[in-house]
Structure 1
Amino acid sequence: MRSLTVLILAVFSLYADVSSRVIDVPTRERVSERLLILTPEVPKAVVVLFAGGHGGLQLSDDGKFGWGEGNFLMRTRELFAKAGLMVVIVDAPSDRQREPYLNGFRQTKEHVHDISTILTWIKTQTTAPIWLVGTSRGTQSVAYVATENPSDISGIVLTSSILYDAKSDAVPEMKLEKLQMPVLVVHHKEDGCSHCSFDLIPSLMNKLTSTSAKELLVIEGGQTKGDPCNAFGHHGFNGVEQEVVAQIAHWVIAH
C-alpha cells in the first residue's frame, strides 16, 4: 500500500497547470467530431478517452457534458492531465447526436475513419505517443479501431472490458491476435456487470499473442452503488479512481 501511495503522489505531482479547449474536427463529408482537450505544458503521451454506454456525450461549445460526465474516464479526465498526459475526449460524431448515438456504430468502417482522422489531427498538435483508452463499451471502440487501423496508435488501455455481448462482437471476439502494440487491461475483480465478469478475463488475455507488452491490472476495493453495469459500481472503479488512474498513467508513460 505504501508503494502505491508513493506512486500516486509522484504521478499527480508532475503537472498542476492544465489548459482545456473544445474543437470540432471534420472527418467525413458534412460530418465532424467534437473533442474536449486537456493539455499539460509538456505532454508525456496522449490518451484518447472513449466513454461507455451509448457514448453520446453531447459536449457543448464550452466543454460541458449533456450526458456521461460521471463515466469513469470522463470524471477522472483531470487526473490523467495532471499526470502529464494530454487528454482527448471523443464525443459521438455530428451525424449521430441523437439515439442510438454510438450503439451499433462502434464496429463500423465509418467509426474507424472518424477516429483515424482524429489521430491524424492530434499528430499536428504534438509529437507525443498516442494511446487509445476505453471503458466498458468504449473498449469495443478501442479494440476495433486498433485491430482495423493500428497506424498512429502507440498502445491501448482496456478498462472494464466488454467480455460478453449477444448483440455485437465482445472484445475477445475481435482480431486481438493482430495487435503488436502494448496493451494494458484493467479490470475490477468484483465487477458485477454481466457483460464484464472477471471470470471471462482469460478469454481476452489469451487472445493477446503478438503484443510487444501486455499486463492485466487487477483492481480490488472501493465501493459499489446502484446498477452494477453503471459508472458508480465496481465496474466504474468507484472509490479507487486515483489509484487506477495513477497506475494507468505510469504504465502508459513507461511504455
Structure 2
Amino acid sequence: MLKRLVCLAVLLSITAASTASARDELVSARLPDGKDIPYVLTTGGGTPRYGVILMPGGSGNLDPRLIDGKLTLSLAGNFLIRSREIFAEGPFVAASTDATTTPDRILAIVRDLQRRYGSIPVYVIGTSRSTDSTMTLSPALDGMVAGFVHTSSMNRIASFDTRRFKSRHLVVYHAMDACRVTKPSASASARSNGAETIEVAGGTSTGDDCEARAHHGYNGIERATIDKIKAWIAKS
C-alpha cells in the first residue's frame, strides 16, 4: 500500500510540474498569399513528437490577441481551449486557432509547427460546432494531416463515412451529453462508418446542455478524456 501511495504521489507531482511549466505564446503562420494567421502555441516543456490543432466550438472565433501584454482569448472556457495545457503535456504541442473550413489555414499552421519541431504528425481536433469544420476539412486534407478528432460531434457524424480516407479519425463523446444537436447515439454510430470511437462518462453538468460546463464539454473529466485522445494519437 505504501509503495502504491508513493508511486501515486510521484505521478501527481510529475503531472503538476508538467502543467505548471506549460507556456502560451501568441505566434503566427503565413498563408501562401502572405497573410499571417495568429494562433496560440502552447508548449509543456517536453520534446514534441505530436502536434494538435484545437478549434473551439460555438462561434469558433478564438480571436487571440495581446491586451496590455496579456494574452486574451474569446471562448476561453471552451473544452478544448481551457484544456490546451493538458494537450501540451508530454511529447505534445498544441496550437489553438479559430474554427475554419479553409484547408490553407490549417496547412499554414501545420507547416509552422513542422518548421519548429520537424516532421511531427499533426492532428486536427474540433468540438461541438467545430466538428462541422473537421468533417468539412477531412476530404481536402486527407493524407496531409495525420488525422482528425471529432468531440461532441454534430449529429451528421452518424452519416460521415471515414472509410474512404487515409488520415485517421476518432469520434469522442460523453454518454450523458444532453445537447440535442450532438446526440451520443449519433457519435456511437460513427464506428459503423469506419471511425474509431471513445465513450466517456462522469464529471458534472451545469448550465445549458449545449455549453462548455455541461457533460457536452466534459466538465470535470477533462484530463481523463484528453488522456484517452492522446493515447489514441500516440498509438499511430
TM-score class, shorter = 0.7 to 0.9
Q: Partner of 1:80 in structure 2?
A: 87
Q: Partner of 1:145 in structure 2?
A: 137
Check if 1:24 corresponds to 2:28: yes
Q: Partner of 2:114 in structure 1?
A: 123
Q: CA deviation at 1:182?
A: 2.4
Q: Partner of 2:128 in structure 1?
A: 136
**What percent identity do the matched residue pairs reach?**
25
Q: CA deviation at 1:14?
A: 9.1
Higher helix share: 2
Give the aligned length.
223
Instruction: Check 1:13–1:249 CA distance in 2 against 1; reply closer, same or farther (3 A cut).
Output: farther
* SS of alignment partner, residue 178 of structure 1: coil
Q: Partner of 2:62 in structure 1?
A: 57
Further displaced range: 56-65 or 45-54: 56-65
Q: Is the 8 A contact 2:152 2:187 kept in 1?
A: no
Rounded Cα–Cα distance in structure 2 between residues aligned with 1:32 and 1:171: 32
Unaligned runs of 5+ in 1: 92-101, 164-169, 209-213
Rounded Cα–Cα distance in structure 1 between residues aligned with 2:16 and 2:120: 20
Unaligned runs of 5+ in 2: none
Instruction: Check 1:199–1:174 CA distance in 2 against 1; reply closer, same or farther (3 A cut).
Output: closer
Q: CA deviation at 1:171?
A: 3.6
Q: Partner of 2:165 in structure 1?
A: 179
Q: CA deviation at 1:233?
A: 0.4
Check if 1:46 corresponds to 2:51: yes
Q: Partner of 1:156 in structure 2?
A: 148
Rounded Cα–Cα distance in structure 2 between residues aligned with 1:175 and 1:63: 42
Q: Partner of 1:97 in structure 2?
A: none
Instruction: Check 1:14–1:182 CA distance in 2 against 1; reply closer, same or farther (3 A cut).
Output: farther
* SS of alignment partner, residue 139 of structure 1: helix
Q: CA deviation at 1:90?
A: 0.9
Rounded Cα–Cα distance in structure 2 between residues aligned with 1:186 and 1:228: 17
Q: Partner of 2:75 in structure 1?
A: 68
Which gives a bigger RCO, structure 1 or 2 (Cα 8 Å, sep 6+)? Answer: 1
Rounded Cα–Cα distance in structure 2 between residues aligned with 1:195 and 1:177: 24
Further displaced range: 141-150 or 45-54: 141-150
Rounded Cα–Cα distance in structure 2 between residues aligned with 1:236 and 1:222: 10
Question: TM-score scaled by structure 2?
Answer: 0.83
- Runs of 4 or more above 4 Å deviation: 13-16, 172-175
Rounded Cα–Cα distance in structure 1 between residues aligned with 2:97 and 2:164: 25
CA deviation vs aligned residue, 1:118-147 (integer Å, no higher than 9, x gap): 212222112221111111112222222222
Check if 1:236 corresponds to 2:217: yes
CA deviation vs aligned residue, 1:43-82 (integer Å, no higher than 9, x gap): 1310111110111112113563342110001111111112
Rounded Cα–Cα distance in structure 2 between residues aligned with 1:72 and 1:183: 19
CA deviation vs aligned residue, 1:169-204 (integer Å, no higher than 9, x gap): x34455533222222211001111111111222442
Rounded Cα–Cα distance in structure 1 between residues aligned with 2:70 and 2:137: 25
